Structure 1
């Protein structure tokens, strides 16, 4: 994804692609396998807990949301390290980036389920609070919109966070994360659900953006060689897989123990290490594979928003195929051979005709040297 505000980093598009593909296979694994086992709409009552650690990690592929949020903090901050940020210009660019396809899905959902429309729910959803109770619920169109609401809530904070963190990146991020952990703990003691607080709210997710912001500063401050970056990325990915497998064995996403208030922070730290290492190792990569993966990353926003519609429709009309008779294997084959190609085709279309025309309207949001007193990025 090329931006007028930062030098293009192909490795970041790679990471967007990996996150998008992970979320596609995560939803495909759960929805297709549940349909094969029970012939019912998906529920969390029979959460997959495979013995294979790689499959167990994939069963917790919701972690892709954390990777996306760390990446948001990382790439936005990388472009703002050397200059000030114009709040209006930044928000305008973010709306041009995310709002058109978001609105299309909102209105498609209303068209499909007009009986679910309320003015209060509509205004709440388009106003950036779609992750909270009362928002429009029109699955499959609205199923992924809650994360966009959290992103928007972060965007409002970003122009304020940059000058605050500049006063001491590590100290400020550590302090803010400690405050977030404290208040998540208090919210749980007050009767809140630790899983939902950590997963569905800005209070649970803000530290992922903050750690992504810190990762951008660390990436710039302590540059790594390609070899060191590859070692860091490989080690971080191995720990991510192990941590997700243990998370799955402890009950997976449906479980609601109090320790889940700390899970978003751990996810963010592991993904931040992976991001720093991968960008250092792969940013100079070239060749067909790099361009192909970067192209998937370029359309990753469309992939993220439309993939659930594709999988939901395949399940709704009883189209999953029994390749081997093993429900998990069949779910992955159905995802890779059917759902993913259809998703990529639709995402390519929506990117070309819904996203890209508005992306071309973006401008610079960094203040120049006269305004900020430093050289703009």
Structure 2
């Protein structure tokens, strides 16, 4: 891989890159497998999501900054809300209708509000709520990061060495996380201790034009993510595998963006992978309450299948109904960008 100060690397593919949807499928299947107790370190699927999300969104923001000299913050936030909000509202409305029947005497309305206002990362770390919407912590981490990142990016790009600044920030965040010691329930969920994957993805977006990914990088990335997923353990040692998964995800995303996946290309671009990847946001939203509802009776591979099938179905219904109308109403971008940003 060429160093950032060297000649330009391979060009990035334009338009829709199917393999990135394949990576989304890979990530969400890891998370579902983790919650079904099939894969002990499958929680690193969230880190794959973080890297991919920040890579795509930073590319879009930088394109706007280069084209117009600024970033329209209200437009950026409004588009994210229009893209992600309807599916979340539908899931929360369904949850509020069903959850009181399954788990009575619980503060479901308050929990839904924590998820809806993207504060469940800090609320769960501090108070253990929302219990049955616990998975919404990762959505909160992303939204809090993207409130600050459009403001920080123009300032970062004015510095002489923006990638060095991000590298220092990444190391500082790992040091900050390590300071929590065995208090893993705090560092696992909070934005200030789990945003390292977003920082790596943002750095990749700024550096990729000067990097040269190969098929060997793609295979190495896949091995690193799977190593983290197999060896990782949910608990005090979880943080040990975060950087492994983040670096692996960055290698995969970079190789996919430059069309260098090699032997991984057929699997990531298979029709089933593309479908799951396209629906991955909805699958993530629906899978956790379904998992908790079925856990008293099922576990392992059976639970994985029994969660995945209805999650895909509900995500598809959400996709063809509430998620499509904002896309149809949205005005086209002034300049083409990598597609598929969440």
Shorter-chain TM band: 0.7 to 0.9
The Cα shift of 1:66 comes to 0.5
Q: TM-score, normalised by structure 2?
A: 0.78
The Cα shift of 1:365 comes to 7.0
Indicate if the aligned counterparts of 2:87 and 2:322 stay in contact, CA closer than 8 A.
yes
Change over 3 Å in CA distance of 1:282–1:236 after alignment to 2: closer
Q: How does 1:134-149 map to 2 (within 5 A)?
A: 137=130, 139=132, 142-149=133-140
Structure 1 equivalent of residue 162 of structure 2: 169
Structure 2 equivalent of residue 38 of structure 1: none
The Cα shift of 1:123 comes to 4.8
The Cα shift of 1:182 comes to 3.4
Structure 1 equivalent of residue 314 of structure 2: 346
Structure 2 equivalent of residue 78 of structure 1: 59
Q: How does 1:229-244 map to 2 (within 5 A)?
A: 230-244=215-229
Unaligned 5+ runs, structure 2: 1-13, 66-70
The Cα shift of 1:74 comes to 0.8
1:45-103 per-residue CA deviation (whole Å, 9 max, x = no partner) reads xxxxxxxxxxxxx3210000100011110111122333322111111111112222222
Structure 1 equivalent of residue 11 of structure 2: none
Structure 2 equivalent of residue 14 of structure 1: 22
> How large is the Cα RMSD of the aligned pairs?
3.2
Structure 1 equivalent of residue 196 of structure 2: 207
Q: 1:358 aligned to 2:336?
A: no
2:260 to 269, 281, 289: 281
1:273-292 per-residue CA deviation (whole Å, 9 max, x = no partner) reads 22212333259968995444
Structure 2 equivalent of residue 3 of structure 1: none
Structure 2 equivalent of residue 69 of structure 1: 50
Indicate if the aligned counterparts of 1:89 and 1:363 stay in contact, CA closer than 8 A.
no
Indicate if the aligned counterparts of 1:121 and 1:135 stay in contact, CA closer than 8 A.
no
Q: How does 1:307-346 map to 2 (within 5 A)?
A: 307-316=287-296, 318=297, 320=298, 331-333=300-302, 335-336=304-305, 338-346=306-314
1:143-162 per-residue CA deviation (whole Å, 9 max, x = no partner) reads 32121111111110220232
- Count of matched residue positions in the alignment of Structure 1 and Structure 2: 309
Structure 1 equivalent of residue 122 of structure 2: 132
Indicate if the aligned counterparts of 2:221 and 2:247 stay in contact, CA closer than 8 A.
no
Q: TM-score, normalised by structure 1?
A: 0.71
Unaligned 5+ runs, structure 1: 1-5, 31-57, 321-326, 369-374
Moved more, 165-174 or 235-244: 235-244
The Cα shift of 1:163 comes to 1.5
